[in-house]
Amino acid sequence: MTDYYAILGVQRDATPEQIKKAYRKLARELHPDVAGADAGSEERFKDVSRAYDVLGNPDKRRAYDMGADPASPGGMGGAGAGFGFQDIFETFFGAAAGASQAARGPVPRARRGQDALVRLDIDLAEAAFGVHREIPVDTAVVCPTCSGTCCRPGTSPRTCEVCGGRGSVQRVARSFLGQVMTTQPCAACQGFGSVIAEPCTDCSGEGRVRSRRTLSVDVPAGVDTGTRIKLTGQGEVGPAGGPAGDVYLEVRERRHETFVREGDDLHATLAVPMTAAALGTVVQLETLDGPRDVDLRPGTQPAQVVTLKGLGVGHLHGQGRGDLHVHVDVQVPTALDDEQADLLRRLASLRGEERPDARLAAHGGVFSKLRDRLAGR
């Protein structure tokens, strides 16, 4: 008589839990999906299954311990008589998976719609102060004829006759393990549990149609290129009138002809004549807030920066605004007539600048300062 205890590798006084644990371990190792198409492994898997069929059943185990072999043709039943698909299913996937398989129901026909990404081009002034925009979008809306039911008005979905409304069907297949039962989505109703016998002609049974809508959005101050604004539930409606997705507005700021933006600050270049920089002047600059005076003190140097507080871009997550930084570009004349050149020579003479090389050395010019720095003085 076959020693089923030896096949499972347990003692004769092993508990039911120890027998089940040993079987599960061997089944994982020897199952054809794991061990591959090996004749020896397949035979051992059959022996292990036969041994567990006997020792895992209290009545068959009692008869086996008394000298009978329930798995033999003359015993209590053939190999695999008490061994079903559920045992294998629990072996590889656990009891929780088996429970979820049994509890599977029809798939909801209504599903969430997709999200949409829309680009929004704005000017610098709109980014600085915020703006209200009306944006047209092409999207999916609930079918006005069937109101999302997918059916012709006056009709309704019909319970699937193939699956009886369960959305799935069970099929029995024979294998070397015996009869194996599987559950598959119903092909007749696509797993919905119901069929649309008379679909709506306007939406072709989709429950939604394409249409153009207008979205209203308040763009906050401080947005920049790449900022995304989420409009919850403003996307396309899902199939069968399902919940709408979201719309994401991606901001792209147009380039300004005068100002360059860095964060919430603005930068502008102001070109002034050499004489105005030397004598000082007031220049009017057109800002995002209108004309503002830029006061240049006498002796203004090239690349000097004049800051106008609070004339930049509004802070996206806070109060206040950035600043406007005006960079002074002193323009040196390049074409002088004789009279202008003579005036500049007289100015140089009055300032003692006829020999700039000597003055540069005497007052520690660029080269002398560099030499001192290198010498560590």
Choose among 156, 303, 288: nearest CA to 221: 288
Work out whether strand 247-253 and strand 116-122 pair parallel, antiparallel, or are unpaired. parallel
| 160 annotated binding-site participant | yes
Q: Tell me if 256 sits within 8 A of 174, measured CB to CB.
A: no
Q: Cα–Cα distance between 259 and 325 in angstroms, integer?
A: 10
How many CB atoms are closer than 10 A to CB 337? 7
Phi-psi category of residue 303: left, alpha or beta, with phi > 0 → left and psi -120 to 50 → alpha: left
DSSP state of 241: G
Long-range contacts of 285-294 (CB under 8 A, 24+ apart): 285/326, 286/258, 287/311, 287/324, 288/124, 288/125, 288/128, 288/129, 288/259, 294/270, 294/326
Q: Cα–Cα distance between 350 and 344 in angstroms, integer?
A: 10
At 250, list the tokens.
């991606």
| 150 annotated binding-site participant | no
| 151 annotated binding-site participant | no
Q: Tell me if 321 sits within 8 A of 312, measured CB to CB.
A: yes
DSSP state of 238: B
At 225, list the tokens.
């290129």
Q: What is the dihedral of CA 329, 335, 338, 341, to 10 degrees?
A: 30
Q: Tell me if 64 sits within 8 A of 54, measured CB to CB.
A: yes
As a whole number of Å, the end-to-end CA separation of the chain is 105
| Binding-site residues for Zn(2+) | 143, 146, 160, 163, 186, 189, 200, 203
| Binding-site residues | 143, 146, 160, 163, 186, 189, 200, 203
